[in-house]
């Protein structure tokens, strides 16, 4: 895998290898030390037509395949299921302004999870290879009462709490203020601090 990016200062193109990008969970050098310096113009992926194992355990993929009557899914079946799930949960940007998923799913120590489970035994979570756990940010936000809530011209989408929407006329600062209010609310309730997945430029207004 590799990509090409345009340097916003010099105007020159540069090729970055997979290792150059330092990819992590919704993370890369373009969100850290190289943030705001490049515009990615193209990417090259290495794909296989014969995967050893299809992963259908994430999210609602298994449930969607089952509801569609598919017991032995192909790659195309899984792709269609993912599109179906996203279409049902995410707003159409042509109708409601949004930038998709706004927050990362937090990765935290198991001790934090145990504290949450003490008051919320059904809290969803996923184990990570390093012994930590991932907790769905959408669930945390929903438990704090934000899902479907409207604040001025902004709000949390009614079908997916991870998505912040602009109902029309909202400024960047309004969206940023909403995001900060949600972050503070979740941290106060669960002791978990959410991180924005989107890039927020200084002086957003």
| Burial environment of residue 82 by CB neighbours within 10 A (0 to 12, 13 to 18, 19 or more) | middle
For the four alpha carbons of 190, 196, 201 and 205, in that order, the dihedral sign comes to negative
Phi-psi region of 67 (alpha: psi -120 to 50; beta: other; left: phi over 0): alpha
Asked if 137 contacts 106 with a C-beta cutoff of 8 angstroms, the reply is yes
CA distance 35 to 28: 9
**Residues 6 or more apart from 47 whose CB is under 8 A from it?**
none
Cα 132 from chain centre: 18
Strands 107-108 and 2-7: unpaired
What is the DSSP annotation of 158-184? SS-TTEEEE-SS--HHHHHHHHHHHHH
Please identify every residue annotated as catalytic: 26, 101, 197
Q: How far is CA 30 from the centre of its chain?
A: 16
């Amino acid at each position: 895998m590799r990509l090409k990016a345009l340097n916003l200062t010099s105007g020159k193109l540069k090729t970055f290898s997979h290792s150059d990008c330092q990819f992590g969970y919704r993370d890369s050098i373009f969100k850290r030390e190289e943030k705001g310096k490049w515009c990615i113009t193209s990417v090259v992926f290495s794909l296989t037509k014969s995967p050893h194992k299809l992963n259908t355990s994430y999210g609602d993929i298994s449930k969607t395949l089952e509801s569609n009557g598919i017991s032995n899914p192909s790659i195309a079946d899984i792709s269609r299921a993912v599109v179906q799930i996203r279409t049902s949960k995410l707003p159409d940007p042509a109708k409601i302004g949004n930038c998709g998923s706004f927050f990362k799913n937090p990765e935290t120590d198991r001790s934090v999870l145990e504290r949450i489970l003490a008051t919320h035994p059904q809290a969803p979570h996923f184990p990570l290879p390093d012994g930590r756990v991932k907790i769905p940010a959408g669930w945390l936000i929903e438990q704090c009462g934000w899902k479907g809530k409207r604040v001025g011209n902004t709000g949390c989408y009614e079908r997916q709490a991870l998505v912040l929407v602009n109902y029309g006329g909202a400024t960047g600062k309004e969206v940023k203020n909403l995001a900060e209010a949600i972050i503070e609310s979740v941290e106060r309730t669960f002791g978990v601090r959410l991180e924005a997945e989107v890039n927020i430029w200084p002086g957003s207004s």
